[in-house]
Amino acid sequence: MKQNRWKSKIVWTTVIALIVLLGGNYGLWDAIGMTSDVFQTAANLILTIAVAVGIVNNPTDKESW
């Protein structure tokens, strides 16, 4: 059975990460009042959480982590 890529959580996570990255590169966050220091702190926090989730994830079990 072929999986629809647009229903994949991984694809949507990647799309959101790309939007955040492009927003930072093109000054979107400055336009809404988020300074680069706040953006960097938030990005570091989110990436730290993502790494922690990746470490404890069990890819062989579809029902839980």
How is the chain split into domains, by residue range? 21-54
Structure confidence at residue 17 (pLDDT): 80
CA geometry: angle 10, 36, 20, nearest 5 deg: 20
Apex 7 CA angle, 25 and 26, nearest 5: 10
- pLDDT tens column, 28-61: 888 888 887 888 888 888 878 877 877 776 667 6
Q: pLDDT category, 3, cuts 50, 70, 90?
A: low
CB neighbours of 57 closer than 8 A, spacing ≥ 6?
65
Which pLDDT score, from 0 to 100, does residue 64 have?
Answer: 65
pTM: 0.56
